């Protein structure tokens, strides 16, 4: 590189420190062999070049310092922007989630609005129906109001009639009271007659049953048959017996003409007593003046012995 080339390069674009140093070294190498032959004009030119070079070097170093500071500020700004970018991305992610939630909520809202729209239609239809029904109701009320007038007139007449009936009722109650008293007297007499007949039937049964039981069923009464209270419950016929060496408990009922209901009541009572008192072997019998066919069949189906009073 000639001295002229070096000058031209120095006058051109600014050089970085390494390039500038290389150019200066090259210039020194070019000047050194010429120091003994250089003219005064050349030295002046070289001096001017060196001054220009020094100024360029100063400007370059100043520019480098500014660039270094700018680079620091740029790096700091980039760090700040990077941190801000992280926060922005986090906010964007949250915003994306929120947007998704809002999208789902929007869908639900639209669906709900569609449902409300249908409900509104039904409501309007129902209101129209209610309006028609209201008109019919008002018409019906008018008719009822007119009917009410007639009803009130009838009620006034009825009130008069009720007053008359009330007086008649009082007279009827007085008559019923007297009649009830007479019925009670009759019932007392009938109960006395029934008890008398029942006791008479029981007394006959006490005498006749031992022989009949032995003759028909091979049951030997031990001691006597008696009327017995067990707790608060009265048994018309009660006794002990034996059959084929087995101990038996004999329980019986006497009725003039038993009903099926009375038979079932007797069966329930005797079964309860057997369970409570441990009667393992019990003979049940029924005595009456008259057995309706269905009642007699009902007794025999349940292994209850049947005795007619005329057999005594």
Q: How far apart are CA 16 and CA 30, in angstroms?
A: 21
Tell me the residue ranges of DSSP E strands in the chain. Answer: 220-230, 233-243, 246-255, 282-288, 305-308
Of 222, 212, 224, give the one whose Cα is nearest residue 248: 222
Per-residue model confidence as pLDDT tens for the chain (312 residues): 565 666 666 656 565 667 766 777 776 676 666 555 556 676 677 677 778 877 877 887 888 889 889 899 989 988 898 898 899 889 888 988 888 888 898 899 888 888 988 888 998 888 888 888 888 988 888 888 888 888 888 888 888 888 888 888 888 888 787 776 565 554 444 444 444 456 789 999 999 999 999 999 999 999 999 999 998 889 999 999 999 999 999 999 999 999 999 999 999 999 999 999 999 999 999 999 999 999 999 999 999 999 999 998
Q: Tokens at residue 102, please?
A: 């809002």
> Does pTM surpass 0.75?
no
Look at the domain 200-311 and name its fold.
Answer: Trna Endonuclease; Chain: A, domain 1 (3.40.1350)
Does residue 216 contact residue 248 with C-beta atoms inside 8 Å?
no
Q: Tokens at residue 282, please?
A: 């019990």
């Amino acid at each position: 590189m000639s001295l002229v080339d070096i000058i031209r390069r120095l006058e051109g674009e600014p050089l970085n420190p390494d390039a500038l140093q290389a150019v200066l070294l090259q210039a020194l190498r070019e000047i050194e062999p010429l120091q003994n032959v250089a003219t005064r004009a050349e030295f002046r030119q070289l001096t001017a070049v060196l001054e220009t070079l020094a100024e360029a070097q100063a400007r370059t170093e100043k520019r480098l310092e500014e660039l270094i500071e700018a680079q620091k500020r740029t790096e700091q700004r980039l760090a700040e922007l990077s941190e801000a970018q992280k926060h922005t991305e986090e906010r964007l992610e949250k915003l994306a989630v929120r947007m998704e939630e809002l999208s789902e909520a929007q869908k639900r809202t639209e669906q709900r609005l569609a449902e409300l729209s249908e409900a509104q239609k039904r409501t309007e239809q129902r209101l129209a129906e209610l309006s028609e029904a209201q008109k019919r109701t008002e018409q019906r009320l008018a008719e009822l109001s007119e009917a009410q007038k007639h009803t009130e007139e009838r009620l006034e007449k009825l009130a008069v009639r009720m007053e008359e009936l009330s007086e008649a009722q009082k007279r009827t109650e007085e008559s019923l009271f007297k009649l009830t008293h007479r019925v009670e007297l009759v019932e007392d007499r009938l109960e006395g007659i029934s008890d008398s007949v029942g006791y008479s039937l029981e007394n006959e049964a006490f005498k006749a049953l031992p022989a009949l039981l032995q003759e028909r069923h091979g049951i030997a009464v031990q001691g006597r048959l008696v009327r017995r209270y067990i707790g608060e419950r009265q048994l018309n016929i009660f006794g002990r017996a034996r059959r084929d060496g087995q101990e038996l408990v004999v329980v019986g009922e006497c009725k003039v003409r038993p009903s099926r209901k009375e038979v079932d009541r007797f069966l329930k009572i005797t079964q309860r007593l057997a369970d409570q008192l441990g009667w393992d072997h019990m003979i049940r019998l029924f005595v009456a003046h008259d057995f309706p066919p269905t009642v007699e069949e009902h007794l025999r189906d349940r292994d209850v012995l049947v005795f007619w009073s005329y057999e005594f």
